[in-house]
Structure 1
Amino acid sequence: MKTPFEPQTDLKAISDFANQHQAENDRFSAFLKEYNDEAIDAKVQELDALISPTISCTDCGNCCKSLMVCLNEEEANNLSTHLKMDRPSFDQQYLEKGSNGMMIMNQMPCHFLQDNKCTVYEYRFEGCKEFPALHLPHFKRRVFTTFMHYDRCPIIFNVVEQLKIEMNFEGSLPNQ
């Protein structure tokens, strides 16, 4: 980062800013397409490594309050075993199943969120472990979903806003 950075963590301020800057974010999404995938990945991962440690997920927990979490058979089996539940009971209590075999948690906020902490952390699902996925390659393939969560995840918000500054994108926030 070019300057010391104080992350924005106020969820209302983030949401308000996101609503006011939708057109800018659409332009930024298009702007990113002009750049090399590896270069964007490197910059996003660098910013994520700097910003993520400055934001406490347990102070927020917004992803667990507002995201639909998908899971697979193995994850459902592992968690039902941990909870000492048979799978049919686990499925009935916690899951919604699609006709294509896809499973999602049947409630938001997540059943397992308590005081902004995951009560089954060691058994959490892959999607939970990976979120917000800024450390993964192929960021440009996930720009749409990144912006879907931009207004609710302080890590995503701050990485994207800092990325705009680092890339000299017109319309980015001034350095703070």
Structure 2
Amino acid sequence: HINSPETNREKIAQLAVEREEDNRAFREYLNRKDGAHVDSIVHRLNETIAPQIDCTECGACCRQLMINVTDYDAQRMAGHLGCSSQVFKEKYVEAGSSMMIMNSIPCHFLADNKCTAYEARFTECREFPDLHKENFKGRLFATMIHYAMCPIIFNVVEELKTETRFRDTGSGR
């Protein structure tokens, strides 16, 4: 049971530095666990923790992440902004050989830690931090990259350490 999740970003960043070795050992430990079982724990923890954290108090993902943009995302956002998909792409997107990304970090649409185009936000934005998806173990490296930035990830991972008995193994502190 999660009493009160940690939301202080400075404290989370400091703890992330302090727990770097612990987290490396936890990744190795978790990779030996059954993936479906890990997913079920992560999904339950996410359903409990995410509603307790107000993303608009943070907004770090919008200030720090590179966002992939699909054609569908570009069309949806263009419609929201009242411009053509081509105009949207010219103004807001950098196209690579196989993908498109937003051409600004922080995001063009972030104001006061809120998305000014929330209803039309990109798929990656809608799904971040991806803790509702299957195959958590397959995304563990990428998830842990965001551990120091995202209070939801931080708290889910810390509770996951407890629930998988990582701290009882002598590997954890």
Q: TM-score, normalised to structure 2's length? A: 0.93
Q: Please point out which of 146, 152, 157 is paired with 2:143.
A: 146
Q: For structure 1, which segment, 84-93 or 155-164, has the greater mean C-alpha deviation from structure 2 after superposition?
A: 84-93
Q: Please point out which of 35, 41, 44 is paired with 1:43.
A: 41
Q: Please point out which of 63, 66, 72 is paired with 2:64.
A: 66
Which residue is equivalent to 2:93?
Answer: 95
1:133 and 1:57 map into 2 onto residues whose CA distance is: 14
RMSD over aligned Cα, in angstroms?
1.3
Alignment of 1:155 onto 2:152: yes
Percent identical among aligned pairs is 44
Q: Please point out which of 131, 134, 155 is paired with 1:134.
A: 131
Alignment of 1:112 onto 2:119: no
Q: Please point out which of 146, 168, 172 is paired with 2:165.
A: 168
CA contact (8 A) 2:92 2:102 kept: yes
1:140 and 1:75 map into 2 onto residues whose CA distance is: 27
How many angstroms does 1:5 deviate by?
Answer: 2.1
CA contact (8 A) 1:161 1:172 kept: no
How many angstroms does 1:172 deviate by?
Answer: 4.8
Structure 1: gaps (5+ residues): none
Which residue is equivalent to 1:79?
Answer: 77
How many angstroms does 1:109 deviate by?
Answer: 1.0
- 1:16-40 CA deviation, whole Å, 9 max, x = no partner? 1111211111110010111111100
How many pairs does the alignment contain? 170
Structure 2: gaps (5+ residues): none
2:42 and 2:34 map into 1 onto residues whose CA distance is: 12
2:158 and 2:117 map into 1 onto residues whose CA distance is: 32
- Does the residue aligned with 1:104 lie in a helix, a strand or coil? strand
Q: TM-score, normalised to structure 1's length? A: 0.92
